[in-house]
Copies of this chain bind each other. A is one copy, B any other.
Amino acid sequence: MINITFPDGAERQYEKGISALNIAEQISQGLARKVLAADINGEVCDATRGINNDAKIKFLTWDDDNAKSTFWHSSAHLMAEAVEGMFPGVKFWVGPPLEKGFYYDIDMGDNVIGEEDLRKLEVKMAELAKQNNTYQRKEISKPDAIKYFEEKGDEYKLDLLSGLHDGEITFYTQGNFTDLCRGPHIPSTGFIKGIKLTNVSGAYWKGDEKNKMLTRIYGVTFPTQKELDKYLFLLEEAKKRDHRKLGKELGIYTMDDDIGQGLILWMPKGTVIIEELEKLAKETELAAGYKRVVTPHIAKESLYLTSGHLPYYKDSMYPPMELDGVNYYLKAMNCPHHHKIFAAEQHSYKDLPLRLAEYGTCYRYEQSGELFGLMRVRCLHMNDAHIYCTREQFAQEFRAVNDMYQKYFKIFGIEKYVMRLSLHDPKKLGQKYVDEPELWIETEEMVRKVMTEANIPFVEVHDEAAFYGPKIDVQIYSTIGKEFTLATNQVDFAQGRSFKLEFTNQNNEAETPLIIHRAPLGTHERFIGFLLEHYAGKFPLWLAPVQVKILPISDKFTGYAKNVLNKFKIADIRVEIDERSEKIGKKIRDTELMKVPYMIVIGEKEVNEEKISVRRQGKGDMGSKNLDEFIEILKEEVKSKKEAV
């Protein structure tokens, strides 16, 4: 008998050689139907594999990332079986799982795979899945394995085998397909129910363009058809919401080869959003006792040597400009500039906390291959601020910053978010992190305590701190569940010392302030990118670049329409008029596409009755309204930042 320990600490005895799947079956058939793999003593294994010693086990079901990987890896084998069935003689290279789905690289010989073939392969895969064939593991000697693939004439698997040692080689077989594979796999093909082959492309063997081009088939599978449907819907939705697509269609931003990669030109409509966000930030920060500053975008090398950016952050900075024999750098962060403003005046503990805020523009060098729409750029407008405080004030200030995050989440309808406490790695002190071992431990504990006391859920992550102290990274999720890294909230015990920042404490001694770096709204680039996807371009009224569009049915009503236009303008509503000689249907469709929240249709009836007809974007006709009353409704909707209708 062997001792099996479960995650909750419970222990039970089983016959030697029993599998995790057998144990699950003994617990309940319902559980067994869900077990895709098992974690045995920390290693992910086939659930069907016999256990011969005492072990800790955990059943891995669909909600576990390792189970998903196993599932998709097994799906790659299933696809390979289908491909081999339809195209005998093809040869397989590797078929790994991905973050979402899997692929297999295949030498298709003379066969060309088209869209139609993918559909046929899906059908074939579904048939094979229904057979519920088990994935059978077999340990095999290297000579036998070589013999097998030599007989098959498969130079790819032979190439893989050449890198493996005897004793570590296994085959997996399901149905008629056998593959060289270290596993693990799901118990049987019957688990795979929702099947979609998403794409086919070329891929050089071993990624080397001197080698033969193989065919890479991508797919994704799920334990139910329903989950696949949901996934495909969200995929489609995410495509529609792609901020690069919407950014162009809605005239939010553009880029230009002569300006440079990763450098955003904000068009008038995007700039409206920027200004509204800055207004919100300024109001919020004013109410929270922040003071604003404005600093240049460049500084001398000496500043960044003092701050530590040059030794620790040089690769992410633009190269220097040499002027009068001095190197100037574009600022990658605003903090050193703010420190200089702190240092420009004398401070007593009574002046603290001093909170200096700036929507500062920073420049960071990202590899051109890493640039991506608004998400990875080289010029960032950051909702930045630095709080200089005493140790006694730290907890309250750090909590207030977290409160500000939560306030913003509410305004923008961000319901899901994760706070990650990023810690240092003691092994990298002096390289990646400033060499102050005690201060690291102390400040990490301070942050942990604040987060715990404030009851904010967080996870801890090793070796991801800033070079000057621990930080909270905030991940947020859009309406359709897409993850975005928003911002950070950092503690800094190092720069205050480097810059010799001081205040006079209650004992009349010079003391170095703690510094909190924070940027709840992140950068305009990333946050507006997020908002485009979060709202699918349908901005709430207060953020909408054009809030109202006036659509006269014909030229006859232009006079009245322009009077209406002016009334909106006087009320500070962002309004446009569509004076084209188009039919009203087309005007409405075009305005819908531009996602303008309100449309005002003006025709004979409206002129006669001295009213307006209102349509809400995506919701249709709202009927006839009195203009003045409607303007009041809109003002309220703008002010409340919530949809009125």
Chain A positions within 8 Å of B, measured between CB atoms, are: 251, 254, 256-260, 263-268, 270-272, 274-275, 282, 291-300, 302-303, 306, 318-324, 326, 328, 330, 336-337, 340-341, 343-345, 356, 361, 363, 365, 368, 379, 381, 524
Q: Please determine whether B318 and A295 come into contact, CB atoms closer than 8 angstroms.
A: no
**Beta-carbon contact of B296 and A268 below 8 Å:** no
Residues of B near A270 (CB, < 8 A) are 294
**Given A294-B274, A322-B319, are A259 and B330 also a contact pair (CB < 8 Å)?**
no
Distance in Å: Cβ of A594 to nearest Cβ of chain B: 13
Residues on the B chain within 8 Å of A368, using CB: 324
Shortest C-beta distance, A366 to chain B (Å), equals 11
Q: How far is the CB of A296 from chain B (nearest CB, A)?
A: 4
Please name all residues of chain B whose beta carbon is closer than 8 Å to the beta carbon of A356 when the two chains form the complex.
268
Chain B residues with Cβ below 8 Å from A337 are 259, 265
- The answer to whether B321 and A295 have CB atoms under 8 Å apart is no
Q: Known pairs A263-B299, A265-B337, A324-B368. 13 more at Cβ < 8 A?
A: A256-B340, A258-B336, A260-B326, A263-B296, A265-B295, A267-B293, A267-B341, A267-B344, A271-B293, A318-B321, A319-B323, A321-B321, A361-B361
Contact of A344 among B254, B300, B321, B361 (CB under 8 A): B254
29 A-B residue pairings within 8 Å (CB atoms): A254-B341, A257-B302, A258-B302, A258-B336, A259-B296, A259-B303, A260-B296, A260-B326, A260-B328, A263-B296, A263-B299, A267-B341, A267-B344, A268-B291, A271-B293, A271-B294, A275-B282, A275-B292, A294-B381, A296-B361, A298-B318, A318-B328, A319-B321, A319-B322, A320-B321, A321-B321, A323-B365, A324-B368, A361-B361
- Secondary structure at the A interface, as helix, strand, loop or mixed, is mixed
- Report whether B318 and A294 are in contact in the complex, using a CB–CB cutoff of 8 Å: no
List chain B residues, Cβ under 8 A from A345. 251, 267
The answer on a CB contact under 8 Å between B340 and A259 is yes
Neighbouring B residues of A320 by C-beta, 8 Å: 321
- Smallest distance from the beta carbon of A374 to chain B beta carbons, Å? 13
Q: Most B CB atoms within 10 A — which of A282, A296, A302?
A: A296
Complexed CA–CA distance, A257 and B324 (Å): 14
**What 4 pairs across the A-B complex have the smallest Cβ distances?**
A268-B291, A266-B294, A258-B303, A254-B344
* Other-chain residue from B260, B271, B272, B306 in contact with A258 (beta carbon distance below 8 A): B306
Chain B residues positioned under 8 Å from A298 (CB to CB): 260, 263, 318, 330, 363, 379
Asked if residues A256 and B344 are in contact (CB atoms below 8 Å), the reply is yes
Partner of A296, one of B264, B303, B324: B264
| Bound: A454/B305 CA distance, A | 56
Question: In the bound complex, how far is the Cα of B322 from the Cα of A361, in angstroms?
Answer: 20
Q: Which residues of B contact A259 (CB under 8 A)?
A: 295-296, 299-300, 303, 337, 340
A341–B265 alpha-carbon span in the complex (Å): 7
Query: How many whole Å from A598's CB to the nearest CB in chain B?
Result: 20
A344: nearest chain-B partner, CB-CB:
B254
Residue of B with least CB distance to A254: B344
A318 to B264, CA, bound (A): 21
What is the bound-complex CA distance between A270 and B291, given in angstroms?
11
Within the assembled complex, what's the spacing in Å between the Cα atoms of A344 and B303?
38
Closest to A270 in B: B294
CB contacts (< 8 Å) of A263 on chain B: these are 296, 298-299
Residue of B nearest to A283 (CB): B572
Considering the chains assembled together, what is the distance between the CA atoms of A340 and B257 in angstroms?
A: 10
The answer on a CB contact under 8 Å between B258 and A379 is: no
**B residues less than 8 Å from A292 (CB atoms):** 268, 271-272, 275
Q: Which residues of B contact A336 (CB under 8 A)?
A: 258
Residues of B within 8 Å of A524, CB to CB, are 294
B271–A379 CB distance below 8 A = no
Closest to A574 in B: B286
A274 to chain B, nearest CB (A): 6
Q: How distant is A572 from chain B, measured CB to nearest CB, in Å?
A: 9
Residues of B within 8 A of A257 (CB): 300, 302
Which residues from B are CB-within-8-Å of A256?
A: 340, 343-344
A596: min CB distance to chain B, Å: 16
| CA distance in complex: A274, B292 (Å) | 10
In the complex, chain B residues whose CB is within 8 Å of the CB of A260:
296, 298-300, 326, 328
Whole-angstrom distance between the Cβ of A141 and the nearest chain B Cβ: 52
Query: With A and B bound together, what is the CA distance between A272 and B275 in angstroms?
Result: 17
Given A300-B258, A319-B322, A345-B251, answer yes or no on A340-B265 (Cβ-Cβ < 8 Å): yes
Say how far A9's CB is from chain B's closest CB, in angstroms. 55
A237 to B268, CA, bound (A): 45
Q: In the complex, A583 Cα to B586 Cα: how many Å?
A: 73
Q: How far is the CA of A324 from the CA of B371 in the complex (A)?
A: 14
Bound together, the chains give a CA A260 to CA B294 distance in angstroms of 15
Contact A297 B344 (CB under 8 A): no
Q: Are A293 and B266 in contact (CB under 8 A)?
A: yes
- Residue contact B330 to A321, C-beta cutoff 8 Å: yes
Complex Cα distance, B271 from A259, in Å, reads: 29
Q: How far is the CB of A537 from chain B (nearest CB, A)?
A: 17
Contacts of A251 in B (CB 8 A): 345
Chain B residues whose CB sits within 8 angstroms of the CB of A274 once the complex forms: 294
Which residues of B lie under 8 Å from residue A297 when comparing CB positions? 297, 330, 361, 363, 379
Would you give the shortest CB distance from A263 to chain B, in whole angstroms? Answer: 4
Using Cβ atoms and an 8 Å threshold, which residues of chain B touch A264? 296
Nearest-neighbour CB distance to chain B for A638, whole angstroms, equals 16
A328 / chain B contacts, CB cutoff of 8 Å: 260, 318
Chain B residues with Cβ below 8 Å from A326 are: 260
Complex CA gap A291/B274 in Å reads 13
Query: A234 → chain B, closest Cβ, in Å?
Result: 31
| Minimum C-beta distance from A329 to chain B (A) | 9
Residues of B contacting A322 in the complex (Cβ-Cβ under 8 angstroms) = 319
Give, as a whole number of angstroms, the nearest-CB distance from A195 to chain B. Answer: 43
**Chain B residues near A266 (CB-CB < 8 A):** 293-295
Cβ of A318: which chain B residues have Cβ within 8 Å of it?
Answer: 298, 321, 323, 328
A275 to chain B, nearest CB (A): 7
